[in-house]
Each structure stands twice: as structure tokens, then as C-alpha cells.
């Protein structure tokens, strides 16, 4: 199947519907895992020396000093055009406004019972690792999406890793964006070796407590392995990017075509799905895609993604919403009239784009929301990156003597029901000694 075939949803049986919205299996998982485990072992045992050897092997660059020094950072910013610097600053401003206004506030101190006070306090995760992809396309926007909320959260140590270019430096626009977000510790390391360096720590790279950022299959596998075998936490297992567009046929076909292609051009394993209640409109979008692809600079990448993408015809928008909720897309574009009326019906999506004037690319760069989002169906249980992602909540309780007296019977009875005598005695000894 491909996006050029129109699939009639109503003609499919239950099992066929389930198969249709399954993500494609990654057949090379075992080979990737074996390669990544070898990389993790090398970095874990040999640190910087292994990273330099792996950087030469995988990136084709010989690096003497892994960390970007002040002169390299200043020169990178100087080489970045004023136009790009101006727009980076505008994007940072919008992302800051959104994230600042959605920051979680510590819960107020409450008196649960007389003399029993409870509260929740918010603390930053101080040691943060940020991975910024720069393989086929350097992504300074990801530096913004991770740099802004981690700064607002108050994370003290932010360690950024990004693959070196042919000159042995991090891409200038990434360096500039990161610097504008107040990040100073930047390392010229990519791939699984970067994740290993952040997780284990090396002579140059400080060990972190949580790792953020999307990447290729090797990066994702490294994050997955380390999050299950060490104390390192990760933001989410981020797989190939995806978009699902729901349309009613009342907009320009080119709008939907470019929305689909904007995700397809990310990589050959990207997945794009178009669901519409208007069969003729699906055909028009397909015609637009064919026409646009002729002159699209990224057509060689997009064409492979389109082979694994789908066009689905449904009877009404409600049916489209039901499919979307089952699929749980990373990006969901609701390109229909009065799109807001469907918002409450959406159960699972990484980020939602309402209406004809809300392209997915706005969220990728500068609308203000975060573009580091759950893929592969994880939107059913996980959220995109936010300020809260860089914090942890700590519960606090403070009891007066009266408060402990009020809880004493409950504590002692339940403790002894569980066979935990010291728990009960910890209460009784306090009340006895203070009679």
C-alpha cells in the first residue's frame, strides 16, 4: 500500500483495520541492538578514547577535543547569518512564552487533618543531557525545544551533544541556538556513543541523570537499553516521525499535500496518513503530491516514506477521529471546518493542529509548543517535552503532636496488619514519651 491507493475504511474487516494502522516493523532491530551494545561497552570501558575512535569510524572526523571551546562557539555564532540569528531569537521568545505560562506551580500546603500538613515541592533535575540530531539535516529548532524548558526548569548542568560536521565542529546554527538558550557545555559527539557518554560519563563528559532528544534508530536503541539497565531516565523512546491529517475537502489540496510531505521529507521511515470524508479530495491531494514531488528538493527521501503511507476514505469525521485515537499520532492536523468542536473527542496525540491555517511546521519551529513528542503510539501514555519533564516533585509532610495523635490509630492498626511492628512503635514511642 502507498498514499496513492485510496482505502475504503468501511470495506475492511476488524483485523484488516488493525493491520492498516500498525506501524511498520523495523526489521533490523536485532542488528542495531548488537551494534549499540558494542558501542555502549566501548564507551563505558574506554571513555573519551572510545568516543574519538567511534567518531572517526562513524562520522569520518578526527576530533582532538570533544568539547566546543569558547572560541569555537563564538566563531559559530559569527558565521551564522543575521537573518537566522534574528529568527532563532523570535522562536526562542515564543517557545519561552508558552512554556513559561504552562509551568507547573508547587501545590499549596494543605492541612489534611488538624495538625497534619502536606505539600508538594518542585525541584529541577540538575544534570541533564540534550541530544541534538545533525545527520541529514541539522536541527537547531530541537536545541530550542530542549534548551528553553530546561532553562526555565532551573536545571544547573545542561550537557549538549551533537554530531560533528566535516570540519569537526557542531553545526553553526545548532551552536547559535544553544548559546542563545544559555547552554555552554557542547560536545562534538553523535550517535549511540553520545548517549553512552552522557549516561556513563567520561574524562570530558559529565554524567547526567536524564537524557532528552530525538535521534536515529541507534540513538533510540541506546536510550532504550540504558533506561532499562542503568539509573538513567529518558524523555521517551522517540521513533520515526509521523503525521496524520484529517480533512473534510474544504481546503486547498496543496495545503494537505505539503503537510504530508513536510513529514515524509524527514526520512524514508517517516509515516504519513491522510484520512478524509471526501473521496474526490483525496484524489486531488494525491495529484498535488505528484506535482509537487517533481521539483521538491527532498523528493528522494520523501518518495520512500510515501511508499509506507496511506490515504483512507471514511464516511464522516467521527470515523476519522476514531482511527486517529487508535493510531495515536505524533502530529495530528484537523483540517476541517469548525475544527475546535472535535478537540474534546481527541484522546491521544502528541500535538494537535487545529484548522486550515495551522501547518505542522509552525509547531516544529516557533508557535511556542514543543516539537519533541511521543511517536509509535506512545502518545496513548506519554506526553511531549515540557518544563515539567526537567523537574521532579517531592512530597512533604509535617505533623504536630495533635496531628500524630489524630493519625495514630490508623497508622498502628495498618502497620500491624502488615506485620510491621517498628512502624507502629515509631508512633507509639513518640506519644508515650510526650504524655
What would the grid cell of residue 255 be?
495545503
Predicted pLDDT of residue 268 = 87
The yes-or-no answer on residue 330 being catalytic is yes
Predicted pLDDT of residue 203 = 97
Q: Report the mean per-residue pLDDT for the chain.
A: 93
CB atoms within 10 A of CB 177: 31
Distance from C-alpha of 413 to C-alpha of 409, rounded to nearest angstrom: 6
Predicted pLDDT of residue 156 = 96
Distance from C-alpha of 341 to C-alpha of 358, rounded to nearest angstrom: 16
Q: Can 6-23+240-368 and 29-112+131-232 be said to share one CATH topology? A: yes
Percentage of the chain surpassing pLDDT 70? 97
Q: Give just the sign of the alpha carbon dihedral 75, 76, 77, 82.
A: positive
Distance from C-alpha of 333 to C-alpha of 360, rounded to nearest angstrom: 7
Decide if pLDDT at 26 tops 80. no
Catalytic residue among 330, 337, 371, 398: 330
Predicted pLDDT of residue 217 = 86
Q: Give just the sign of the alpha carbon dihedral 96, 98, 99, 103.
A: positive
Distance from C-alpha of 28 to C-alpha of 32, rounded to nearest angstrom: 6
H helical segments located in 133-216: 140-153, 172-180, 191-200
- Per the CB < 8 A criterion, the answer to whether 110 and 179 are in contact is no
Tens digit of each residue's pLDDT (9 = 90 or more) over 228-275: 999 999 999 877 899 999 999 999 999 999 999 999 999 888 999 999
Provide the 8-state DSSP code for 191. H
- Contacts of residue 426, defined as CB under 8 A and 6 or more positions apart, other chains included, come to none
Predicted pLDDT of residue 31 = 85
Predicted pLDDT of residue 435 = 63
Average pLDDT over residues 116-128: 93
Decide if pLDDT at 434 tops 90. no
State how far the alpha carbon of 202 is from the alpha carbons of 26, 205, 208, 228, 377, in Å: 31, 5, 11, 20, 34
State how far the alpha carbon of 368 is from the alpha carbons of 11, 95, 143, 352, in Å: 41, 4, 14, 13
- Domains of the chain, by residue range, sit at 6-23+240-368, 29-112+131-232, 400-433
**Angle at the Cα of 47 (from 42 to 53), degrees rounded to 5?**
65
- Per the CB < 8 A criterion, the answer to whether 197 and 161 are in contact is yes
CATH number of 6-23+240-368: 3.40.50.1980
Distance from C-alpha of 435 to C-alpha of 430, rounded to nearest angstrom: 9
- Per the CB < 8 A criterion, the answer to whether 384 and 370 are in contact is yes
- Per the CB < 8 A criterion, the answer to whether 216 and 85 are in contact is no
Tens digit of each residue's pLDDT (9 = 90 or more) over 148-164: 999 999 999 999 999 99
Decide if pLDDT at 7 tops 70. yes
Tens digit of each residue's pLDDT (9 = 90 or more) over 348-370: 999 999 999 999 999 999 999 99
Predicted pLDDT of residue 1 = 52
Nearest one of 241, 54, 36 to 142, comparing CA atoms:
241
Catalytic residue among 99, 266, 331, 371: 331
What would the grid cell of residue 396 be?
512533604
Strand 127-131 relative to strand 157-161: parallel, antiparallel, unpaired? parallel
243 SS3 class: strand
Distance from C-alpha of 101 to C-alpha of 121, rounded to nearest angstrom: 18
29-112+131-232 topology per CATH: Rossmann fold (3.40.50)
What would the grid cell of residue 194 be?
553520545
Tens digit of each residue's pLDDT (9 = 90 or more) over 371-405: 999 999 999 999 999 999 999 999 999 999 999 99
Burial 84-105 (b: 16+ CB within 10 A, else e): ebeebeebbebbbebbeeeeee
Distance from C-alpha of 355 to C-alpha of 209, rounded to nearest angstrom: 39
Tens digit of each residue's pLDDT (9 = 90 or more) over 63-118: 999 999 999 999 999 999 999 999 999 999 999 999 998 886 666 789 999 999 99
Decide if pLDDT at 211 tops 60. yes
Distance from C-alpha of 29 to C-alpha of 59, rounded to nearest angstrom: 21
Decide if pLDDT at 24 tops 80. no
Decide if pLDDT at 27 tops 60. no
Predicted pLDDT of residue 104 = 65
Amino acid at each position: 500500500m502507498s498514499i496513492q491507493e485510496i482505502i475504503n475504511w468501511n470495506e475492511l474487516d476488524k483485523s484488516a483495520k488493525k493491520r492498516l494502522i500498525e506501524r511498520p516493523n523495523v526489521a533490523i532491530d536485532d542488528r542495531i541492538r548488537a551494534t549499540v551494545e558494542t558501542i555502549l561497552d566501548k564507551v563505558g570501558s574506554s571513555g573519551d578514547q572510545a568516543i574519538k575512535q567511534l567518531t572517526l569510524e562513524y562520522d569520518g572526523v578526527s576530533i582532538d577535543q570533544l568539547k566546543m571551546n569558547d572560541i569555537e562557539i563564538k566563531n559559530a555564532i559569527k558565521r551564522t547569518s543575521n537573518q537566522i540569528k534574528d529568527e532563532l531569537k523570535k522562536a526562542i521568545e515564543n517557545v519561552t512564552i508558552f512554556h513559561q505560562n504552562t509551568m507547573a506551580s508547587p501545590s499549596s500546603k494543605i492541612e489534611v487533618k488538624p495538625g497534619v500538613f502536606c505539600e508538594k515541592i518542585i525541584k529541577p533535575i540538575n544534570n541533564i543531557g540534550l541530544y541534538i540530531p545533525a545527520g541529514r539535516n541539522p536541527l537547531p529548532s530541537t536545541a530550542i525545544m530542549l534548551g528553553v524548558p530546561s532553562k526555565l526548569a532551573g536545571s544547573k548542568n545542561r550537557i549538549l551533544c551533537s554530531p560533528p560536521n566535516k570540519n569537526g565542529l557542531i553545526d553553526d546554527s545548532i551552536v547559535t541556538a544553544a548559546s542563545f538558550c544559555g547552554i555552554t557545555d557542547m560536545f562534538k559527539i553523535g550517535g549511540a556513543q553520545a548517549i553512552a557518554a552522557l549516561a556513563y560519563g567520561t574524562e570530558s563528559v559529565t554524567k547526567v541523570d536524564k537524557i532528552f532528544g530525538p535521534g536515529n534508530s541507534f540513538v533510540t536503541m541506546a536510550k532504550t537499553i540504558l533506561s532499562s539497565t542503568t539509573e538513567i531516565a529518558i524523555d521517551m523512546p522517540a521513533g520515526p516521525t509521523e503525521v496524520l491529517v484529517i480533512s473534510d475537502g474544504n481546503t486547498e489540496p496543496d495545503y494537505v499535500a505539503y503537510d504530508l510531505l513536510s513529514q515524509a521529507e524527514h526520512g524514508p521511515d517517516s509515516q504519513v496518513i491522510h484520512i478524509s470524508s471526501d473521496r474526490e479530495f483525496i484524489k486531488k491531494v494525491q495529484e498535488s503530491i505528484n506535482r509537487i514531488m517533481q521539483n521538491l528538493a527532498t523528493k528522494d527521501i520523501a518518495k520512500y516514506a510515501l511508499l509506507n503511507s496511506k490515504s483512507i476514505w471514511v464516511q464522516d469525521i467521527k470515523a476519522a477521529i476514531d482511527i486517529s485515537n487508535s493510531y495515536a499520532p505524533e502530529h495530528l492536523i484537523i483540517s476541517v471546518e469548525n475544527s475546535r468542536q472535535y478537540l474534546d473527542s481527541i484522546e491521544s496525540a502528541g500535538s494537535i493542529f487545529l484548522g486550515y491555517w495551522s501547518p505542522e511546521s509552525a509547531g516544529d519551529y516557533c508557535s511556542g509548543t514543543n516539537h519533541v513528542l511521543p511517536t509509535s503510539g506512545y502518545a496513548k501514555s506519554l506526553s511531549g517535552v515540557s518544563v515539567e519533564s526537567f523537574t521532579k516533585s517531592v512530597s512533604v509532610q509535617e505533623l504536630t503532636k495533635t496531628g500524630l495523635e489524630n493519625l495514630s490509630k490508623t497508622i498502628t492498626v495498618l502497620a500491624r496488619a502488615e506485620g510491621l511492628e517498628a512502624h507502629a512503635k515509631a508512633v507509639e514511642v513518640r506519644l508515650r514519651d510526650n504524655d
